[in-house]
Structure formats: C-alpha cells, structure tokens
Chain A
Amino acid sequence: MTSSDRVTELIREEADHYQPGDGLDGIARRLDVRRRRRRTRHRLGVGLAVVVAGVITAVIVVGGGRTPSQDVSVGGNGSAPAPVVALADPSLTPKGWSPVEFDDIQVSVPSSWSIEYPGMASCGEGSGGVASIGKGQDLPVGAGCPTGANVANVVSIAAAMSQRLERARHIVVNGIPTVQGITGGAGDPTMVERARGDEVEARGPDARQVLATLTHSPLSVVIDSATTSVPKDWRTINYAGLRFAVPASWKVADQAEWQCLSTTQADTVVLEPADSTGGESCTATPLNTAGTWTAKPGLVVASGPALPPSLADATCRTRAQLRICIDPPFSAVDDRPGVMTVQIARPGQAHPDRIEIGLAGTGQQAAQIFESIAATPNASGTAGPAATTGSPGQPSVTTTLELSSQTMRAGGTMHATIIIENRTGHALHTEGCGSIFQVTLTNAGDPGRPVWPLCLQRITIPAGHSTQTLDVHASFYLCGASGVPACTTRGLSALPPGNYEATTYESTHTVPVPAPKPVQVTQK
C-alpha cells in the first residue's frame, strides 16, 4: 500500500466514524429563517422571487415533527400563495380573553393570565395561568411550574423548535394549516401546535381552548401586505422629517421626552422627542397580564439622539430614500407584545427615528399606517424642514422663520423671528434652556450646528399665535474644534463672505422647524 493509499484510508476511517443526526429539522429551520427574511425584504419594497408554496409548506412539515413511522402532511395544494392577505381574526378571542401574538401567529388567553418573557417561570401565581412569549435556549414550556394533577395553565408562543412530536397529525385550524402533537410523554404531556414556522405549546385545563384560538398575527398582515392603500379620509402627520397617515379620529399627543418603553395609546399618535430618556430605563421590566398588554391601535413616533443607534438583528431596506428596519419580534429586552417596532433613517441621520405601531385587531390598519410612512418632502439630515401636523389642508402647528434682513456683514448680528401658529387648541409643554430654537447660518461646507446651553427649564408654547425672537450671528458657532478657526482674543471668528442659509434648529422636536431662508454674508 502506498503512502497515498494509506492517507486515503485514514481519512475514510475518520470521516465514516462520524454519524450525523437527522438534518431535516435543521434544514427546515434554515428555510424558515430564509423565508422570513425574504418576506420582510419583500415588504420593504424589494421584489423577490416567490418561493413555491409547496416547497415551503413541505419544509414546515419536515420541521414539524416528522417521524419515521408517519409522514405528516401539510395543507395547500402546492400552488402559489393567494394574493389576498389573510387577516387576523379578532372574533376568535373569547370575551374576557386577550390576544397574544408572536411573529406570524396569534392565540388568545384569559386576560387575567400573566405574560412573561421566557425563563421567568413564575407560573402566573394567582392569575390562573401564564403565557410566555419567545423561547429561551432549550427551555421547556413552563419550566419550574408544577406538574401532575394540579397542572398550571402554561402557554408558550415562539419560533418552532426542532423537537419531535408524538402522535403528530396535520389539521387546519381556523384556516391555517398546522401540525399538532404532544411532547413530554404521558406523565407530563404538552400539546404543541405548529403553524407558519412558529409554535404554541400549551398544557393545563385551558390548553385545548387556547390552541383553538389560533389565527394570523397582525404583524404577519403588515409584513405580507405587499401594497396597501391608505384610506383617503385619513389625516397626514409630518414630524421630524417623516410623514405618515392615521385615522382622522385619532388624537395627537406630544410627549415631553422619550419614554423608552412602548407607550401606544388607543387611537392616539404619540410624538416623543428623544433628546434624553425619561425616568424609565431601557432594561427588562416585568410584564403584566394579558389584558394589560392587549395591543392598542395607536402609534408612537420618537426622534432624537437618545434613541439607540440601531436595532439588533433587524431586517433593513431602503424605500424612497428612507432606510427602514423592522425589528424581529422579541429580539430585545424592552420589546413588548402587540407592538411592531420600526426604525427609520434619512440619509446622513445618525440616530434613526423609531416608530411603534400597535398591532391591534385584524392588522389591516397597522399595515396601512406602515404603508403610509414616507419622508417629508425635501427632508434631509437630522433636522427636517418645516413640518406640520394635521390634515394637509389644515395643519395644527406651523412655524415660519422671518429675518430682519437677507444680507449681513461678516461677524455681525441680526434678529430672527420664529412665528408659531399652534392650532391644537392647547398649550404645548416641553423642556429646554432659554429657547428650544436656535438659528445659525449654514452652507454646504459648514452645517453650523448650534451648541445648546446646559440648563433645564419648563417651556410652554401657548395655543394660538406666538413668536420667539432670536439673534443670528455671522460668526462661527465655536472655535478651536476640528474644521473651524482657532479661538481668538476677540471671541469667535467671523464667517467668510458668501451665500448661506439661516437654518433653525430645535432642541426638543416639540414643533416642526421652519424652512431655512437664504442670507448673504458680506465683507466686514
């Protein structure tokens, strides 16, 4: 035997010694991940080839507990998916129960049940049951909860795991093809229902009833709705360089600061300046009951430097010059049920805006809101142009910049007046130092960003007409820093002569900033 043959034989011995496990579950998981990414990208405006439904559904079955003795079959007839998006069905939620959604599916549980993150395992003490959203690493459903005769009601709704199901069978529940089976053996059985790449595990007296409430999640409606028309009678709102539409009956509430946690309020748009965080910290906090966390048809739009720079594991695409990232469900400790988190950035924007859409009802309304999101015309950078709230014909807050002159000498000062028309019918309250506005001269090479003084005062913008007068300096706004002249004994250096724009900056995003106006700086 040559040394070459000997090497080949050794390699063969080593390789053949390794016996891999069944790869079907792993393949199914991979296909599911790819399917989700594809759907999200498609929703964000990138047309991709549609994978044949038969392939996908077959793979779901592969991941759904196929056993050597029984081939589990799946629904559908192998044709492409229907063009009509299946909506969530709120009528499946019994009275006194609340929906709990995760990813593509939703079930309902009694409103008194506790909602927990995976691994908390309090077993819903005193609440009749617990629903766990998302799944920890290899953590069995209801880990730590009592078993046997006094079994607690425990439900877990999460991405499907690869464990094998006993007595697996294929049935359609409320129009959704599922694979149902049990795990845990005869001593401690848990009912499992797998659908759309997710699964519900349930045990306890209410397990069967919970599984029977399966429906599509509102999030899946948003993702699957490739194009959704926005009702003509909705009102448009411009805020922080973004434009979006909501039902005309919804209220608009200005929040003093970013609350960190989801704060969707029923039929309300909450506008949150995120220049600093509020009292709440962005860390995991105990959840509450299913009733408390029932999704509300509302919207939160936050904008400012206190927002996190990016979402972990988000799927992102550019749509109409906006970088839109959809946060996967329960990917962060501050995620909440019933909310779709979207991060949106305009070109050059360091801290993307954050939009939270309440995932209530059928999901259609959330899909329409998502579809309406666009950049305010001419918006760019971190400070949007003049913005408005209200219907297109009757904005509720407008601001205008007026200058005492369109020319000024280098190093000189002139007055600027910001005129605010607050038609909301109530005063707007915020915080700042002196004024929430500053006006600086900017051009392509110098953004002229202001330096905000350090103090915290309560500032009120009254209802109706009001004005604020500010000074505009034809000087550099600071000295000694990179890209600006060194500090001089006479203070800040004069701007070089040329054409500039008087640009308004706002420290709080409480009201829209007015459009810039041209200014010519002449020799001293």
Chain B
Amino acid sequence: MVSDEDSAVDVGQPALGWWHDLYRRRYVPTVRIAGLVLGDFHAGEEIAQEAFARLLEAGEGVHNPDRYLTGTVINLCRSTVRRAARGRTLLGRLGSGAADNRFDEHVANRSTVLEALRRLPIRQREAVVLRFYAGLSDTETAKSMGVSIGTAKTHLRRGMASLSENAETQR
C-alpha cells in the first residue's frame, strides 16, 4: 500500500530550527577553521560534518551550541592529527617512503602562509586560527582549546611569532 503521509515533520520545524540556523550561519566558517587547523580543507569538511552531526545528536540540551561546535571541531582536529602522526610513524617503521613523498608534494602546492601555518605545533595552530580567523576573544579561544587563558596566549604569541618571521623572510 502506498499512501501520502499526512503527519509529516518538515525539516524546517521549530524543533530543528535552531540547528538549521546554526548550520546556515556556521557551516562554512567551521569548515574553514578545521581546514586551517588541519592544513587541509577537504579534511576540514569532514570534521565540520562530524561536528554538526554530533551537535544534532546532542540536541537542544547543549547550553552554548556555538562553543560546543568549536570545541568539538578542535577535539576532532587533534584526534585527526594524532591518527595521522601514528600512521606516519607506522609507515616509517615499515620503511615506506610513499606516504612521505605524497605529503611533501601536497605541501609544496599550498600557499606559503598555509604551509607556514601547517608547520606550527597543533596547539599554536589552534590558537592562531581561533583568535585571528574565527575572531574569538582570548577567553573564548582558551575555553575552546580547553586550556587556561595564559596558556592560550602563550601558544598564540609563539605561533604568531613564527608566522611573522616566516612572512618577513618571504618578502
């Protein structure tokens, strides 16, 4: 039997409206934040999608969806970087140079600033991206990173120093 459904729930219903509003407002910036932290915007899309999926599952009980989203993205990025590091270590043990070659080639195609950003330690990258790209305050940056304000500022200062030094040498 095939019948039209009368009691349909539209995705635009109020119950999910908050999520859609946030999606429309924050999806693209979230992709870019994750892309900058990872040095790979395609991977950034994956991270952003996972973060929005988790937010949807967490539901309206999340006190601050914006902060939840940013915090989730940062955590997912760290996990991704850790997994990648383990993979490189394993490949190194196996004596395979293939992955490293691909990695170098990929890096060479990036712009200089992204390359410099990519070479920063992960925490410094997070601090720089959240503070200067996402436009978060020092306090918000620290909360999203799960560190104290002082620690966040230290990461930020060191990261910007490295990037500025790099920019100077490129002139």
Contacts and interface: CB of A to CB of B under 8 A. Distances in A.
Contact of A7 (B28, B45, B46, B167): B167
A14 B45 contact: no
A336 to B, nearest CB: 30
Given A7-B164, A18-B31, A61 B11 contact: yes
B147 interface: no
B45 A75 contact: no
Contact of A3 (B41, B49, B168): B168
Contacts of A24: 23
Interface stretch (B53-61, B83-91, B97-105): B53-61
Nearest to A35: B57
Given A54-B15, A171-B4, A73 B10 contact: yes
Interface string A60-78: 0110001000011111111
A21 B1 contact: no
Interface string A2-46: 011011101110111011110110110011001000000000000
Contacts of A212: 2
B113 A7 contact: yes
Given A3-B167, A55-B16, A14 B113 contact: yes
Nearest to B162: A7
B45 A20 contact: yes
B59 A14 contact: no
B32 A31 contact: no
Interface in B7-43: 7-13, 15-16, 23, 27-28, 31-33, 35-36, 41
A55 B48 contact: no
B18 to A, nearest CB: 12
Contact of B2 (A20, A76, A78, A173): A173
B167 A30 contact: no
Contacts of B7: 75-77
B11 A23 contact: no
B57 A18 contact: no
B32 A15 contact: yes
Given A23-B49, A172-B2, A55 B35 contact: no
Contact of A23 (B3, B31, B111, B117): B31
A51 interface: yes
A72 to B, nearest CB: 8
Interface residues of B, number: 47
A175 B1 CA distance: 8
A293 to B, nearest CB: 27
A64 B50 CA distance: 18
B74 to A, nearest CB: 16
Contact of A20 (B8, B13, B27): B27
A62 B114 CA distance: 33
Given A4-B160, A31-B53, A172-B2, A74 B113 contact: no
A51 B5 CA distance: 22
A283 B43 CA distance: 34
Contacts of A18: 31-32, 35, 41
A77 B9 contact: yes
Contacts of B23: 23-24
B3 to A, nearest CB: 5
A35 B4 CA distance: 26
Nearest to B2: A173
B114 A14 contact: yes
A3 B164 contact: yes
A297 interface: no
Given A3-B164, A62-B11, A66-B11, A34 B57 contact: yes
A350 B163 CA distance: 53
A74 B8 contact: yes
Given A6-B167, A30-B50, A74 B32 contact: no
B11 A55 contact: no
Contacts of B59: 52, 55
Nearest to A2: B164
A12 B59 CA distance: 31
7 contacts: A3-B164, A3-B167, A4-B160, A23-B49, A59-B53, A61-B11, A75-B5
Interface of B: 1-5, 7-13, 15-16, 23, 27-28, 31-33, 35-36, 41, 44-46, 48-50, 52-53, 56-57, 59, 111, 113-114, 117, 128-129, 132-133, 160, 163-164, 167-168
Given A21-B45, A31-B56, 13 more contacts: A7-B113, A7-B160, A11-B117, A15-B133, A23-B48, A30-B50, A31-B57, A52-B59, A59-B56, A73-B8, A77-B9, A173-B1, A173-B2
